[in-house]
Amino acid sequence: MPKLLFLCPIWIKNCYVKKIFSIVIVIAAFTYACKKPVGFVITGKITNAEGKYLCLEELKVASSIPVDSVQLDKDGTFKFEGKIHYPNFYLLRLTNKNFVTLLVDTIEKIRVFGDAANFSRDYIVEGSPGSLLVQELNNQLTKTKHKLDSISSRVNVFRTHEDYRPQIIKWNQELDFIKQSQIRYSTDFVQKHPFSMASVLALYQKFDDSNYVVQDLQSLKVAASALNSFFPKSEHVKALYANTQRLMIEEKNNKIQQFIAKNGVNSPDINLPNYNGREIALSSLAGKVVLIQFWSALDRVSRIQNEALVELYNKYKSKGLEIYQVSIDTDRSAWINAIEKDGLTWINVGDMKGSIKATNYFNIQTVPANYILDRDRIIVYKNLMGPALDKAIGKLTR
């Protein structure tokens, strides 16, 4: 017993040392794992491809760039590795027309199998959910295009046939049904997968060189917003987001033009207070040639243009010209000071909240900007300056 008591402290000490050593090993292993480079790996096998080169290319917005390549031996196996910070598109290319598209995530271990003869049409991909979605999208569009091509071929063959006229109506209906089915499929795909980069591919698929499958701006908005929140540095997402913003502006412009066209001779009305607080409506200037000028007291170019407007107003006010100047300012003191300093004696209005409603009506993106209304309140010119503005006002006030 005394012997045992004598050995216990040593045994406890050894256990303590071993425990500490084990902890150190675990920490070291964890640290190594954290520092160990991670990335994606693409492996696979392509049969009947001996001697052919398989290229890995990164798919950019408007092109692709080579990343790596390997010459396949009789076995047909291959392996590519790489590092990315967010999901990205890659091509596995045998020839210009024989390739597959992959959507690779940062640490995926992807396996691809196929045969050289029909690699692009019939391949198996494993370990990559994004790549499976891409394959699904491409397969669906390929089937749709085959159906469309089949009908188009019949149209061409029977163009001189006596039953062509009744048949063409039926074929056009079939073509429209097939296209609408594809549009519904692609639109639903984007709505189901708004946070997948595969939706980028869906949004840029085309029936032909000039016709996109998805033309629904709302789907673009949803996907662009979702993807931008997750992958703001992705080149593809940046391009999608910018394109969506451009289309939104175009839609807004079209709505403005439709509004103006719908209202015929009547331009959108504005009713804002002047610097004395009295509201003055644009429509109250019936019978006059009106220059609607959007400006800011804090904008240097607007202030410079005021000098030219003073000369213009003095020249044509007796002939029926009125200037209706709309301020987008929020600083009332700066606005009133500018009016006094620049000697602006015409109508000057603004709500000191940016006059948002008025700028939206006339789709004002920047200042200074102007519209010219004839005596019937029809918009006849936009954003004229200098001699062109003087000439237009002179012509209208004859």
User: What is the Cα–Cα distance from 151 to 157, expressed in whole angstroms?
Assistant: 10
Tokens of 126: 């494993």
Task: Identify which of 201, 192, 185 has the alpha carbon closest to the alpha carbon of residue 135.
Answer: 201
Other C-beta atoms lying within 10 Å of the C-beta of residue 370: 24
pLDDT at residue 210, rounded to an integer: 82
What is the DSSP code string of 106-124? Answer: TT-EEEEEEEGGGTTTSEE
Residue 261 predicted with pLDDT over 80 = no
pLDDT at residue 33, rounded to an integer: 41
State what percent of residues in the chain have pLDDT above 70. Answer: 87
pLDDT at residue 263, rounded to an integer: 53
Average pLDDT, the chain: 87
Strands (E), the chain: 40-47, 53-59, 64-71, 77-82, 88-93, 99-104, 109-115, 123-126, 206-208, 211-212, 271-273, 279-281, 289-295, 321-327, 347-349, 369-373, 379-382
Query: Which residue would you say has higher pLDDT here, 199 or 37?
Result: 199
CA distances from 183 to 78, 156, 186, 220, 248 (A): 37, 25, 5, 13, 20
pLDDT band at 259 (very low <50, low <70, confident <90, very high): low
Peptide bond into 66 cis (omega under 30): no
Residue 260 predicted with pLDDT over 60 = no
Residue 46 predicted with pLDDT over 70 = yes
Tokens of 398: 């004859």
User: What is the Cα–Cα distance from 194 to 304, expressed in whole angstroms?
Assistant: 48
Q: Tell me if 275 sits within 8 A of 338, measured CB to CB.
A: no
Q: Tell me if 107 sits within 8 A of 40, measured CB to CB.
A: yes
pLDDT, tens only, 248-257? 877 776 766 6
Residue 19 predicted with pLDDT over 70 = no
User: What is the Cα–Cα distance from 392 to 389, expressed in whole angstroms?
Assistant: 5
Residue 44 predicted with pLDDT over 60 = yes
pLDDT at residue 100, rounded to an integer: 97
Q: What is the mean pLDDT of residues 164-175?
A: 86
Give kind and range of the element (H or E) at residue 17. Answer: helix 2-35
Name the residue type at position 44: G
Q: What is the mean pLDDT of residues 136-151?
A: 95
pLDDT band at 97 (very low <50, low <70, confident <90, very high): very high
User: What is the Cα–Cα distance from 14 to 297, expressed in whole angstroms?
Assistant: 83
pLDDT at residue 1, rounded to an integer: 36
Query: Which residue would you say has higher pLDDT here, 163 or 33?
Result: 163
Most confident of 57-61, 257-261, 266-270: 57-61
Query: Which residue would you say has higher pLDDT here, 245 or 271?
Result: 271
pLDDT at residue 118, rounded to an integer: 95
Angle, helices 300-316 vs 332-342, to 10°: value is 50
pLDDT at residue 269, rounded to an integer: 86
- Separation of CA 364 from chain center: 22
CA distances from 375 to 131, 389, 396 (A): 62, 16, 8
Q: In 3-state terms, what secondary structure has residue 169?
A: helix
Environment class of 230 (CB within 10 Å of its CB; exposed 0-12, middle 13-18, buried 19+): middle
Q: In 3-state terms, what secondary structure has residue 287?
A: coil
pLDDT, tens only, 264-308? 445 678 999 999 999 999 999 989 999 999 999 999 999 999 999
pLDDT band at 32 (very low <50, low <70, confident <90, very high): very low
User: What is the Cα–Cα distance from 82 to 293, expressed in whole angstroms?
Assistant: 57
Query: Which residue would you say has higher pLDDT here, 247 or 103?
Result: 103
pLDDT at residue 161, rounded to an integer: 77
pLDDT, tens only, 70-86? 999 999 999 999 999 99
Task: Identify which of 92, 54, 96 has the alpha carbon closest to the alpha carbon of residue 73.
Answer: 54
pLDDT at residue 94, rounded to an integer: 97
pLDDT, tens only, 345-393? 999 999 999 999 999 888 898 999 999 999 988 888 999 999 999 999 9
Residue 218 predicted with pLDDT over 50 = yes
